[in-house]
């Protein structure tokens, strides 16, 4: 009998085949909160497949899943699922798209899986056992100069009416670092922090399913993930900040001063 981690990984590999098959095909697209907030039949089909099969291997578990069961809940065994993170990329055939699944045990992140079957990148982590890309151990970067950092961010679907304008922060940050990217998948952005490609990532208004898997992957790769007060990121926090740890203080100060400028 395979352990729960391996069984879940095998189910996510199968879900990846669904994503890959659908990627180059015609998609059936609907909108959700506004014209940019998209969902496809594939999002729904992958989510249903994951809930059915993860439920079978862990019968007393519950689900927090973007498309069908998005009410925040606490449970001893909780799967947190984003069936496609980067749906807009998926719709437009931009290959930065993935399946993101986390498993929380007694309130703590236990496993994280982020699988991009288009680029053949499967990121995994288990609490206390490190983070991996395709089975090979990964670590955050060693960059200690904020001025030389390579960062990522994203814009929530409600960005146009958000109280803090992340476009302004984006603009200010661009002039202070090597570059800032907006690639369109928060889960993969976090994994690229874990991989040492991005030195840091920030975004407002993300949901648990966007980030839970990526958080444990960053932590297990030696990085740090917090809110603006240097506390562990919680479901109720608006801003998430991930970094290689070394740059964290400087990064927080930079974001805090930008936020303060907008509030004054
Ligand atoms: C979105 C992506 C994107 C982020 C948005 C998310 P979705 O998730 O992670 O990078 O900027 O805030 O909602 O809708 O593709 O699952
Ligand atoms: Ca998402
Ligand atoms: Ca999604």
Known catalytic residue: 164? no
Query: Digits of tens for pLDDT over the chain (264 positions)?
Result: 889 999 999 999 999 999 999 999 999 999 988 888 888 999 999 999 999 999 999 999 999 999 998 888 889 999 999 999 999 999 999 999 999 999 999 999 999 999 999 999 999 999 999 999 999 999 999 999 999 999 999 998 887 788 899 999 999 999 999 999 999 999 999 999 999 999 999 999 999 999 999 999 999 999 999 999 999 999 899 999 999 999 999 999 999 999 999 998
Q: Strand, coil or helix: what is 91? A: helix
The finding on whether 154 has its CB within 6 A of some atom of ligand 1 is yes
The residue whose CA is least distant from atom 12 of ligand 1 is 156
The finding on whether 82 has its CB within 6 A of some atom of ligand 1 is yes
The finding on whether 47 has its CB within 6 A of some atom of ligand 1 is no
According to DSSP, the β-strands at 239-243 and 224-226 are: antiparallel
CA nearest neighbour of 79 among 238, 239, 208, 234? 208
Known catalytic residue: 210? yes
114 Cβ contact partners less than 8 Å away, ≥ 6 residues apart:
85, 98, 99, 100, 122, 123, 124, 187, 188, 190, 191, 213, 214, 217
Segment holding 85, helix H or strand E: strand 77-85
Q: Which residues surround ligand 2, an ion (CB under 5 A)?
A: 82, 85, 210
**Can you list the domains of the chain with their CATH numbers?**
4-138 (3.30.540.10), 146-263 (3.40.190.80)
Task: Identify the sign of the CA torsion 199, 181, 256, 190.
Answer: negative
d(CA 118, CA 236): 32
Known catalytic residue: 144? no
Q: Which of 184, 205, 208 to mutate to test the pocket of ligand 1 (most atoms within 8 A of CB)?
A: 184
The finding on whether 200 has its CB within 6 A of some atom of ligand 1 is no
- Paired strand residues for 78: 62, 104
d(CA 40, CA 45): 9
Taking the CA of residue 93 as centre, how many other CA atoms within 13 Å lie in the half-sphere pointing to its CB?
A: 7
CB atoms within 10 A of CB 238: 14
Active-site position among 12, 51, 84, 217: 84
Distance 33 CA to ligand 3 centre (A): 13
> Contact 79/103 with Cβ under 8 angstroms?
yes
Known catalytic residue: 85? yes
């Amino acid at each position: 009998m395979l352990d729960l981690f391996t069984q879940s990984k095998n189910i996510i590999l199968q879900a990846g085949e669904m994503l890959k098959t659908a990627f180059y095909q015609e998609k059936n697209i609907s909108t959700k909160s506004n014209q940019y907030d998209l969902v496809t039949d594939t999002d729904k089909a992958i989510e249903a497949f994951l809930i059915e099969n993860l439920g079978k291997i862990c019968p007393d578990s519950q689900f927090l899943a973007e498309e069908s069961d998005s009410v925040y809940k606490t449970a001893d065994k909780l799967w947190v699922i984003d069936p496609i993170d980067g749906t807009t990329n998926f719709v437009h055939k931009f290959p930065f798209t993935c399946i993101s699944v986390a498993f929380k045990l007694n309130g703590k992140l236990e496993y994280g899986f982020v699988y991009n079957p288009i680029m053949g990148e499967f990121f995994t982590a288990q609490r206390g056992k490190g983070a991996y890309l395709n089975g090979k151990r990964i670590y955050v970067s060693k960059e200690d100069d904020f001025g030389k950092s390579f960062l990522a961010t994203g814009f929530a679907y409600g960005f146009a009416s958000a109280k803090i304008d992340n476009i302004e922060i984006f603009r200010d940050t661009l002039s202070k670092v090597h570059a800032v990217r907006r690639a369109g998948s928060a889960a993969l952005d976090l994994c690229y922090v874990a991989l040492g490609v991005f030195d840091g990532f920030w975004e407002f208004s993300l949901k648990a399913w966007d980030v839970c898997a990526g958080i444990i992957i960053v932590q297990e790769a030696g990085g740090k993930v917090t809110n603006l007060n240097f506390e562990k990121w919680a479901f109720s926090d608006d801003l998430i900040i991930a970094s290689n740890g070394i740059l964290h203080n400087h990064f927080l100060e930079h974001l805090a001063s930008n936020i303060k400028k907008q509030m004054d």
